[in-house]
C-alpha cells in the first residue's frame, strides 16, 4: 500500500481558502491572487539554482546536446509547451529542446490516469530518446514523488547525462541525486492538491527563464530583440521587419526588402546592411562569431 502524502506541502490544506465554497467570486479571486504572488516569491528564492540549470543547458547546447523535460500531468504539459515554443521563437531545431510526458503524446490533451506511476516507463522513455552524456534531462514533479519522473532521472544519471529536478515540495525519500535541484516551495494550494495552480505557475515561470536565458547566451537575442525568430506568419514577418528598422535605421519598405534578400532572417540582414556584405559573406561572418550578432557587427574584416 502506498504511503500517505499528507505531509507534502502541496497536499496540505490552505487556511485562507478553507471556506472557498462559501466565498463570493470576488473574495475567491483575492485569495487566488495573493497565493499566485507567493508563487512568484518562491521562484525568486530559487534564482541561484535556476542559474545553475541555465548553465547546464547552455553547455549542453554548445556540445550539440539537448534539453529534455520529463513530467506527468500538468508538469508534462508545461514541458511540452515550453519545448514547442522554442523553434518559432529562437529558430532552433525541434530536437534541441524536447519533452516527455507520462502516457505519451495523447496525454497532452486527455489525462491518462496511472501513467505517472511507473518508474520503469520513465526509464524506458529516456532510453527511447537515446540520451547521452551530452544531454540534460530535467524532471518536473510539482508534488515531488512522481515515479515516472524519478525513473527517468535515475536512468539519465546512469547514462551520464546532466540532470535537473524541479519540485515544489521538501525533499522526499529516494529522491534522485541530480546535478541541480530547483525547489520553489509554493505551499498549499487554494484547491487542495491541485498543483496546476501555484505550483504550475512557478513551474511555467522557471521553464520560461531556463530556455529564454539559455538562448540569450547562445546569441539568439540582440539587445532585447528575438533576432533569430522564424518569420513563419504575417505577425512574425512584421516583427522581423520592425526589428531590422530598429537596428539599421531603414524605413519599413526597405527593411522588408532587406529581409527578403536575407531569406527571411534578421541577423544576416542586419549584418548585410552594417557591413555591406552579401548574404553568403554575412552568414560566414555570423558563423565565425558563433551566432553572436553583436560580435559580427563589431568584427574586423580582412
Domain boundaries, the chain: 9-217, 234-298
- Rounded to whole angstroms, how far apart are CA atoms 53 and 76? 18
Tens of pLDDT, residue by residue, the chain (302 residues) = 466 666 788 888 999 999 999 999 999 999 999 999 999 999 999 999 999 999 999 999 999 999 999 999 999 999 999 999 999 899 899 999 999 999 998 889 888 777 899 999 999 999 999 999 999 999 999 999 999 999 999 999 999 999 999 999 999 888 999 999 999 999 999 999 899 999 999 999 999 999 999 999 999 999 999 999 878 889 999 999 999 999 999 999 999 999 999 999 999 999 999 999 999 999 999 999 999 999 999 987 76
Name, in order, each residue with C-beta under 8 angstroms of 115's C-beta and a sequence gap of 6 or more: 72, 102, 103, 104, 107, 121, 148
Model pLDDT, residue 9 = 83
User: Strand 97-101 vs strand 136-140: parallel, antiparallel, or unpaired?
Assistant: unpaired
d(CA 302, CA 285): 11
pLDDT confidence of residue 1: 40
Q: Exposed/middle/buried for 302, CB within 10 Å: 0-12, 13-18, 19+?
A: exposed
- Phi and psi dihedrals of 99, rounded to 5? -145, 140
How many other CB atoms are found less than 10 A from the CB of residue 94? 10
CATH of domain 9-217: 3.40.50.10490
CA distances in angstroms from 284 to 62, 132, 280, 281, listed in the order given: 18, 30, 6, 5
Spatial separation of the C-alpha atoms in residues 11 and 22, rounded to whole Å: 21
How deeply is 182 buried, as exposed, middle or buried, from its count of CB atoms within 10 A (0-12, 13-18, 19+)?
buried
CA distance 201 to 134: 29
CATH T-level fold of 234-298: Helicase, Ruva Protein; domain 3 (1.10.8)
pLDDT at 3: 64
Query: In angstroms, rounded to a whole number, what is the distance separating the alpha carbons of residues 266 and 219?
Result: 13
pTM greater than 0.75: yes
In order of 57, 169, 183, 300, the CA distances from 165 in angstroms are 13, 11, 8, 43
Rounded (10°) CA dihedral 128, 129, 131, 137: -120
In 149-179, which positions are buried (b, 16+ CB within 10 angstroms) versus exposed (e)?
Answer: bbbbbbbbbebebbbbbbbbbeeeeebbebe
Residues known to be catalytic:
85, 116
Amino acid at each position: 500500500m502506498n504511503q500517505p502524502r499528507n505531509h507534502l506541502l502541496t497536499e496540505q490544506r490552505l487556511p485562507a481558502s478553507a471556506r472557498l465554497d462559501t466565498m463570493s467570486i470576488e473574495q475567491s479571486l483575492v485569495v487566488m491572487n495573493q497565493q499566485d504572488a507567493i508563487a512568484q516569491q518562491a521562484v525568486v528564492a530559487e534564482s541561484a539554482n535556476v542559474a545553475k540549470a541555465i548553465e547546464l543547458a547552455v553547455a549542453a547546447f554548445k556540445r550539440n546536446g539537448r534539453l529534455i523535460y520529463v513530467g506527468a500531468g500538468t508538469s508534462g504539459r508545461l514541458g511540452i509547451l515550453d519545448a514547442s515554443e522554442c523553434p518559432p521563437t529562437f529558430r532552433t531545431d525541434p530536437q534541441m529542446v524536447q519533452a516527455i510526458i507520462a502516457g505519451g503524446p495523447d496525454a497532452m490533451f486527455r489525462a491518462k490516469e496511472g501513467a505517472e506511476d511507473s518508474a520503469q516507463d520513465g526509464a524506458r522513455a529516456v532510453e527511447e530518446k537515446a540520451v547521452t552524456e551530452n544531454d540534460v534531462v530535467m524532471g518536473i514533479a510539482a508534488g515531488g514523488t512522481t515515479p515516472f519522473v524519478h525513473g527517468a532521472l535515475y536512468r539519465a544519471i546512469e547514462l551520464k547525462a546532466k540532470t535537473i529536478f524541479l519540485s515544489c515540495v521538501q525533499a522526499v525519500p529516494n529522491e534522485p541525486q541530480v546535478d541541480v535541484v530547483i525547489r520553489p516551495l509554493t505551499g498549499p494550494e487554494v484547491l487542495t492538491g491541485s498543483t496546476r495552480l501555484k505550483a504550475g505557475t512557478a513551474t511555467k515561470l522557471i521553464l520560461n527563464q531556463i530556455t529564454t536565458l539559455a538562448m540569450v547566451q547562445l546569441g539568439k537575442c540582440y539587445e532585447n530583440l528575438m533576432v533569430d525568430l522564424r518569420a513563419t506568419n504575417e505577425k512574425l514577418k512584421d516583427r522581423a521587419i520592425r526589428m531590422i528598422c530598429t537596428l539599421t535605421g531603414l524605413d519599413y519598405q526597405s527593411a522588408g526588402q532587406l529581409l527578403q534578400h536575407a531569406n527571411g532572417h534578421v541577423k544576416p540582414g542586419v549584418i548585410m546592411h552594417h557591413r555591406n556584405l552579401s548574404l553568403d559573406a554575412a552568414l560566414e561572418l555570423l558563423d565565425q562569431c558563433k551566432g553572436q550578432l553583436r560580435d559580427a557587427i563589431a568584427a574586423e574584416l580582412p
